Amino acid sequence: MPSLRIVPRTLSRAGLVRAPRTATISTGTVAPARAFSTRSNHRQQQHQQHQQHQQHQQMPRTLKAGASPGVVGALVGGALVGWYLFSSNSGSDASSPDAWRKVNYHNVYKDIAALLEDENYDDGSYGPVFVRLAWHSSGTFDKMTKTGGSDGATIRFAPESNHGANAGLDVARARLEPLKKKYPNISYGDLYTLAGVVAVQELGGPTVRWRPGRNDKADTECTPDGRLPDAAQGADHVRNIFYRMGFNDQEITALVGAHALGRCHSTRSGFEGPWNASPTAFTNFFFTELLSNSWVPKKWSGPFQYVDKESGQFMMLPADMAFRSDPQFRKYAEIYAADQDAFFADFTKAFTKLLELGVKFPEDAPVYEFTTLE
């Protein structure tokens, strides 16, 4: 087994390293994308930050005593959600089979990236909730019935939008709705999945290949509740959910590494807290924290979850702990904890697969690799 590399527990957004490169896409044109060679510099900066802060751990803004998203963030979030509920009733203009061809996806990428940062929301970024929106709109696929998945974007309709696993995603949809109005020919399925790609890349993660061509469906196509993972369950449940989609143990482990981003909210899932001290940076920190910390049950009135014994400020869900206790899952978790490049390489393949489950793309749909913003 590879040795576990202990990584720093802090990372500022300013520490992310980004540089442009060029890569050929399937249509034969050249599209800019991020340089993977910058990751070694990224890890070097992480180590330098650790040396600077090892005597005094600096927590993210919302973990500091007395800090909160603020009244302004609550008002803005409420206004966005209300406006979304009103405007989304008008339906989609992306009804033509060729509508996707009229969209400049590089411009859409840039506009989504511009929406990410907001100091009044959560930890200062909508990126984590955009990844969750892309994940949950795609993870309903059933390989036996060929139903669900990102094609159709039925997550925007009740009852699917009201499923417990989707609590809080109205905020992400509302944030993206102005772009649907700006680019009426993009389908919601393409918009939601592209938002996930943008978030992964802009928060320091790997380049994720993406292609357009999803269709929007009616609310009659909503998937039944229970297709997404239940965070309170263990390894058997996790496998049942992901095997239904067509994933293997290695792909499942890679995908769960996205828990490096964001936090749980007691007002949404019932659980509370971040997985690590850098919830707006895409890293392998989920695996390093999972394997290097001692985890104890959280003493509170909420649902059962774990907190790290040392500080009590980071959490793991019961389903997360399966990747520590189950031998097959742990085998891959140890690889990813020791090698962030290996995690990035496997994650990007699994995430692309997730976003494309059940989608019948046009034969000439190009595959994009986008550059991150400077």
How many other CB atoms sit within 10 Å of the CB of residue 83? 13
Q: How far apart are CA 276 and CA 9, in angstroms?
A: 7
Containing 78, the helix (H) or strand (E) segment is: helix 70-87
Query: Buried b vs exposed e over 337-351: b needs ≥16 C-beta within 10 Å?
Result: bbebebbbebbbbbb
Write out the catalytic residue numbers. Answer: 136, 275
How many other CB atoms sit within 10 Å of the CB of residue 268? 18
Taken in order 331, 306, 262, 212, is the CA torsion positive or negative?
positive
Closest CA to 171 of 130, 200, 137, 115: 130
Q: How far apart are CA 275 and CA 277, in angstroms?
A: 7
Query: Buried b vs exposed e over 141-151: b needs ≥16 C-beta within 10 Å?
Result: bbeeeebbbbb
Quickly list DSSP for 138-184. HTT-BTTTTB-SSTB-GGGSTTGGGSGGGTTHHHHHHHHHHHHHHST
Closest CA to 354 of 217, 200, 230: 200
Residue pair 1/337 in contact (Cβ under 8 Å)? The answer is no
Q: How far apart are CA 292 and CA 7, in angstroms?
A: 10
